[in-house]
């Protein structure tokens, strides 16, 4: 019965701690009391990004008979963050992917880079190496939507 | 014989791409509130119209005077042309100098020739134009220059219908110039 009471008291004192850091030490048994705590700082993740979309407005495909692979740079960015960053890319090729084959390439600091995730600081270049254009690709205008998402790896 | 004019154009456009290189944009994302940052971009890709053309011109040899009707045996094909494009093409045909002439400019006037210009789109063959070259003058129906129907892929042939040769037709090599103009329907 006594133990239960002490247990309850201990529980209450924990809640008291969480709330207002309050301790009462009665006399007689009080020889010394050590308060062991810490000061915590959360350093959040931030990011500086300098980026350039390499194709300003429109992009011309003038012939199917080209020298392949045809490297088309899409995006360059310089990442500077205080932790690694998770990157995901998306592309809607507007129907062109039916007629045109290509592979995505990435360079980091001027060297070929096999994409890993997350990525660290550096200068990156992302492009598509076109390997084939169907001669029957209907002439016309296609809207290609490119997207890239940067997410912190350190969150609280 | 293939036309690949646009290779140089393509090269120039690639070069201009690099010249385009716009200024970089700076983005600073502070901590605490950073959940996710999206960069999005839209690019208009313009697939230009291209065309492949092959053609073949075969001379006809008149070996004797008289009346010949090669049309009864599928006709004799003077000229055939095949084009393949990624959009419809406007084709016009013209006979800019409506005479059979030799290299010295002498007009061939001792024959009467009827020929057709036909267009084959898929399985459909249409007679587009009938022509009569009669003793030195060319008459076409309809008149030229004539716009031929729109197609992405088509074959055009000029075939002989009938030929009448006068015993006095002067021996020699004679040419009738024919001019085809191909215009894109998709352009910027």
- CA-based R_g, chain B, Å: 26
Note whether B6 contacts A61, CB cutoff 8 Å: no
* DSSP classification of residue B132: E
Helices (H) and strands (E) in chain B, counts: 1, 10
Residue keyed to tokens 């029957």: A136
Note whether B29 contacts A47, CB cutoff 8 Å: yes
Give the three-class secondary structure for B15. Answer: helix
Torsion on CA atoms B172, B138, B98, B111, rounded to nearest 10: 0
Give the three-class secondary structure for A136. Answer: coil
Note whether B45 contacts A94, CB cutoff 8 Å: yes
Give how far A97 is from chain B: nearest CA, Å: 12
**A75 backbone dihedrals φ, ψ, rounded to 5°:** -145, 135
* Count of Cβ atoms closer than 10 Å to residue A114 Cβ: 7
What's the CATH architecture for B51-184? Sandwich (2.60)
* Count of Cβ atoms closer than 10 Å to residue A140 Cβ: 14
pLDDT digits (tens, 9 = 90+) for A111-132: 999 988 999 999 999 999 999 9
Q: H/E element holding B10?
A: helix B6-20
Compare all CA atoms of chain A with the CA of B50 and give the residue at the minimum distance: A63
* Confidence label for B6 from pLDDT (cuts 50, 70 and 90): very low
Concatenate the DSSP letters of all residues of B80-103 into one string: EEEEEEEEEEEEEEE-SS-S-B-T
How much of chain B is in helix, strand and coil states, percent to nearest 5? 10, 55, 35
> B153, B85 in Cβ contact below 8 A?
yes
HSE at residue A144, side-chain half, CA atoms within 13 A, is: 22
pLDDT digits (tens, 9 = 90+) for B25-56: 999 999 999 999 999 999 999 999 999 999 99
Give how far A96 is from chain B: nearest CA, Å: 9
Interface residue A84 vs chain B (CB under 8 A): no
- Disruptive mutation site among B5, B42, B54, B90 for chain A (greatest number of A CBs within 10 Å): B42
* Interface predicted TM-score of the whole assembly (ipTM), two decimals: 0.71
| Chain A partners within 8 Å of B46 (Cβ) | 58-61, 140-142
| Chain B partners within 8 Å of A73 (Cβ) | 17
pLDDT digits (tens, 9 = 90+) for A53-83: 999 878 999 999 999 999 999 999 999 999 9
pLDDT digits (tens, 9 = 90+) for B138-180: 999 999 999 997 899 999 999 998 899 999 999 999 999 999 9
Which has the higher per-residue pLDDT, B74 or B96?
A: B96
- Disruptive mutation site among B3, B31, B48 for chain A (greatest number of A CBs within 10 Å): B31
> A124, A73 in Cβ contact below 8 A?
no
Cα B88 to Cα A112, B6, B38, B150, B182: the distances in Å are: 42, 17, 40, 6, 10
A88: left (phi over 0), alpha (psi -120 to 50) or beta: beta
Note whether B36 contacts A149, CB cutoff 8 Å: yes
């Amino acid at each position: 019965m006594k133990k239960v009471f002490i247990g309850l008291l201990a529980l209450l004192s924990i809640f008291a701690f969480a709330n207002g850091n309050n301790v009462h030490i009665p006399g007689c048994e009080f020889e010394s009391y050590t308060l062991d705590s810490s000061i915590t700082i959360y350093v959040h993740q931030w990011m500086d990004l300098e980026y350039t979309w390499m194709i300003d407005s429109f992009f011309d495909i003038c012939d199917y008979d080209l020298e392949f692979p045809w490297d088309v740079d899409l995006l360059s960015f310089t990442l500077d963050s205080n932790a690694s960053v998770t990157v995901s890319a998306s592309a809607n090729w507007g129907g062109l992917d039916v007629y045109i084959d290509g592979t995505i390439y990435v360079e980091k600091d001027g060297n070929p880079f096999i994409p890993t995730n997350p990525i660290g600081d550096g200068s990156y270049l992302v492009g598509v190496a076109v390997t084939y254009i169907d001669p029957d690709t209907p002439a016309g205008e296609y809207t290609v939507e490119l997207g890239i998402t940067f997410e912190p790896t350190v969150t609280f | 014989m293939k036309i690949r004019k646009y290779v140089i154009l393509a090269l120039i456009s690639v070069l201009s791409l690099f010249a385009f290189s716009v200024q970089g944009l700076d983005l600073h994302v502070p901590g605490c509130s950073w959940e996710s940052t999206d960069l999005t971009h839209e690019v208009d890709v313009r697939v230009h119209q291209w065309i492949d053309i092959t053609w073949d011109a075969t001379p006809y040899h008149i070996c004797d005077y008289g009346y010949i009707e090669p049309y009864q045996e599928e006709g004799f094909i003077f000229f055939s042309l095949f084009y393949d494009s990624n959009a419809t093409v406007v084709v016009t045909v013209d006979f800019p100098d409506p005479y059979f002439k030799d290299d010295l400019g002498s007009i061939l006037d001792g024959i009467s020739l009827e020929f057709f210009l036909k267009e084959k789109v898929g399985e459909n063959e249409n007679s587009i134009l009938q022509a009569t070259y009669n003793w030195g003058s060319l008459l076409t129906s309809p008149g030229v220059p004539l716009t031929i129907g729109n197609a992405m892929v088509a074959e055009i042939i000029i075939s002989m219908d009938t030929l009448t040769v006068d015993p006095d037709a002067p021996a020699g090599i004679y040419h009738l110039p024919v001019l085809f103009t191909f215009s894109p329907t998709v352009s910027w």
